[in-house]
Structures are given as C-alpha cells and as structure tokens.
C-alpha cells in the first residue's frame, strides 16, 4: 500500500515536470517568433501558394477588365494597369532557382509556340522580338532555339520544354531567322501545328547582304572583300548565289517553299525599313495579326541618333532605356557603287515576284 502511494506521487510529480517543460518550450518559440516579426523577418517568409494565387488572379482580373478597370483605378489608365501583368510575366523569363516559390514555377504551362518569327537574318528580327516583349500577353524564348533547322532530331518535347510558361490569354513565341531559308522547316512546322502564325521581317536585299557581310567581317577580319564574295566572275558580273549573304535575299524562292504548306493568310511580312522609320505603325500590324490589343504604341519608342534606329523608352522602375546591343547598328564598309548597282539589277526580278506573291510593294526598286 505504501509503495502504491509512493508510485502515484512519483507519476504525478513527473507529469508536473513535463507540463512545466512544455510551457517553457512553447514560450521560447513564441518569444522567438515575436522577436523575428518585430525585426521585419516575417515579411520575407514565403506565403502559401494559394495566397499567391489569389493575389495573382485578382491582379489579372483587374488588368483584363474593360472600361470598369480604368474607373476602379481612377488616375491609372489602361496601359498602367497592364504593367502588373507585364511585371509578373517578366518573372517567368528570369533564371530564378527552381527551389524558390515563384509565379513562374507554379503558374502557367509550357506550350508550343503559336507564332514564330521565321526570318530573315539581318532583317530586324531581334528588334521585332524585343518590341513584342513589351506586350504583357507575349511570352518569348530569349535565344534562338534552331529546332526546325538544327535540332529537330531532339523531338517536340525537347522543343516545348524550351518555351516559357504562359497563362491563358498569352501567346508563346520564338525567333529563328534561318527557318525561312531552310528547305525542311515548312513541313516540320506544319507537322507541329498547321495553325502556327509565321512572321517574316524583310529588308532591301542589297542592304541586307551588306549588313550580313559586315557582321561576318566583325568576327573574321581576314574575310575577302564583299565584291570578291558576291561575284563568281568579276569580269562578266555573274552573281554567286551560293554565297549565303546573296542567297538569303532571294525572298520569292524561299517563300514558294513555305506556301506549299501554309496559306498566305498565315504569314505576315514586316518591313525592316518601316520598323526603323515607323516602329509603332509596324508594331500595330504585328499586334493585329497576332490577335493582340494594341498595347505597344509610339509612346514606347524614341529614335537613337547614334545607333540609327529606334530604342525603347525607359520602363518604369528602370534607370535607363532599352536599346539593342553593340552588335546592332554597326557602320557598314564602303562598297563600290557599281557593285551595289549590279546587285540591284540581279535582285529586281526576284523583288517584283515577291511583291506580287505578297501583295505588297516594299519599294526596294
């Protein structure tokens, strides 16, 4: 009996010690949490995914509202509302580590591109892509995938994984200018989707050839002269169409290949010259073709006298405007006028056929 009382007392005392330890441990956790919160560390803790999603969705709804959205925001206009969506889209372009909780990693899906800039090299494709990336409903791959000309054997799933994540209402795009002159590319793109929209930026083929040569010369200073590469025979003036700088500019020949698979309505031809002189006007055509609202307008551009082409005005929150890199806008070498004249004579019949095929006179002759 005495042993039983002693054992019960011991158990009761043991429970009291456990209770005290639990209270002390709980108070330590509570005071530690309060200490960190008072010092502002709680704000840096990741919020639950559902909380991010609800805030994100509310912003998208706000941006997608029509007249009502502008009224609700008062002093903000419709273009300012789209900044929210644009900033969120920029997150999915970043190379943030995959273990971070972010909208880019938890929202949207990777899709095949609905639109591709297929050409042409040195026509203004990089400028067009950078201008399009201003639009909050455009998501584009930064580098050129070269899937349909170099890496087709890697398969469509490999290609799709290169694409950025997109939300409903956004379109996925990529740019690889060499597609336009690749014989197999039209069939391969068609096999992926016959509904793909195709954009071709074209430029005076003579100026384009000189620009192409200038770029190659900057990488290989020992390159022969332009005229030595352009002519098979300098005496007869026979043009060497095997030289890629010349061959790319025969637009009508390459277009025939694409029209075997896609109707003309699936292609948009952008003037490289107008992209310089009237970027807003040409971007209006591009946005209409892609089924987008005309968000990118003349207020986004200014002309850079040094580079000789338009740049994007300073975005909100940025310290400087956005211009294309140093490789763009290089000064061209002096080419003898008789060489350029001979090239113009060579391209004239091809240009006229291209005008007829596209229904648009680009004014190169």
* Catalytic positions: 122
165 known member of a binding site: no
Rounded to whole angstroms, the Cα distance separating 139 from 164 reads 7
Q: Over the chain, what HEC string results?
A: CHHHHHHHHHHHHHHHHHHHHHHHHHHHHHHHHHHHHHCCHHHHCCCCHHHHHHHHHHHHHHHHCCHHHHHHHCCCCHHHHHHHHHHHHHHHHCCCCCCCCCHHHHCCEECCCCEEEEECCCCCHHHHHHHHCCCCCEEECCCCCCCCCCCHHHCHHHHHHHCCEECCCCEEEEECHHHHHCCCHHHHHHHHCCCCEEEEEECCHHHHHHHHHHHHHHHCCCCCCHHHHHEEECCCCEECCCCHHHHCCCHHHHHHHHHCCCCHHHEEEEEHHHHHHCHHHHHHHHHHHCCCCCCCCHHHEEEECCCCEEEECCCCCCCCCECCCCCCCCCCCCCCHHHHHHHHHHHHHHHHHHHHHHCCCCCCC
Tell me whether residue 328 is annotated as binding. yes
Q: Which two tokens stand for residue 222?
A: 């020992």
146 is in an annotated binding site: no
Annotated binding-site residue? 119? no
Residue 200 near residue 181, CB atoms below 8 Å: no
Residue 166 burial class via C-beta count within 10 angstroms: exposed 0-12, middle 13-18, buried 19 and up: buried
Q: What residues contact residue 270 under an 8 Å CB cut-off, 6+ apart?
A: 124, 128, 199, 200, 201, 202, 282, 285, 286
The answer on whether 241 is annotated among ligand-binding residues is: no
187 assigned binding-site residue: no
Which residues pair with residue 309 across a beta bridge?
304
Q: Is 124 annotated as a binding residue?
A: yes
Is 358 annotated among the ligand-binding residues? no
Q: Is 97 annotated as a binding residue?
A: no
314 labeled binding residue: no
Residues in binding site for 3'-phosphoadenylyl sulfate: 122-126, 203, 211, 328-332
């Amino acid at each position: 009996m005495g042993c039983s009382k002693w054992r019960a007392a011991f158990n009761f005392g043991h429970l009291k010690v456990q209770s005290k330890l639990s209270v002390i441990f709980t108070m330590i956790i509570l005071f530690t949490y309060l200490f960190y919160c008072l010092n502002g560390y709680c704000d840096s803790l990741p919020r639950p995914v559902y909380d991010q999603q609800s805030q994100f969705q509310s912003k998208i709804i706000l941006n997608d509202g029509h007249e009502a959205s502008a009224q609700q925001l008062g002093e903000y206009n419709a273009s300012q509302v789209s900044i929210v969506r644009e900033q969120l889209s920029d997150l999915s372009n970043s190379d943030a580590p995959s273990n971070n909780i972010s909208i880019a990693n938890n929202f949207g899906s990777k899709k095949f591109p609905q639109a591709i800039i297929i050409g042409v090299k040195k026509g203004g494709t990089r400028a067009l892509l950078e201008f399009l990336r201003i639009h909050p409903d455009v998501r584009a791959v930064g580098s050129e995938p070269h899937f349909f000309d170099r890496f087709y054997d890697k398969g469509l799933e490999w290609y799709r994984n290169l694409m950025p994540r997109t939300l409903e209402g956004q379109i996925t795009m990529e740019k690889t200018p060499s597609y336009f002159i690749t014989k197999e590319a039209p069939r391969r793109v068609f096999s992926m989707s016959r509904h793909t929209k195709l954009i071709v930026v074209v430029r005076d083929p003579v100026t384009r050839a000189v620009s192409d040569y200038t770029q190659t010369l900057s990488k290989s200073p020992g390159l022969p002269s332009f005229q030595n590469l352009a002519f098979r025979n300098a005496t007869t003036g026979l043009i060497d169409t095997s030289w890629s700088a010349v061959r790319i500019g025969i637009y009508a020949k390459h277009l025939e290949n694409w029209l075997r698979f896609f109707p003309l309505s699936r292609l948009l031809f952008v003037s490289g010259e107008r992209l310089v002189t009237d970027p807003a006007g040409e971007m209006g055509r591009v946005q209409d073709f892609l089924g987008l609202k005309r968000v990118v307008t003349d207020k986004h551009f200014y002309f850079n006298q040094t580079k000789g082409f338009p740049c994007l005005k300073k975005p909100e929150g940025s310290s400087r405007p956005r211009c294309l890199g140093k490789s763009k806008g290089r000064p061209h070498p002096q080419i003898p006028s008789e060489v350029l004249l001979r090239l113009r004579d060579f391209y004239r019949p091809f240009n006229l056929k291209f005008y007829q095929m596209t229904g648009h006179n680009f004014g190169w002759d």
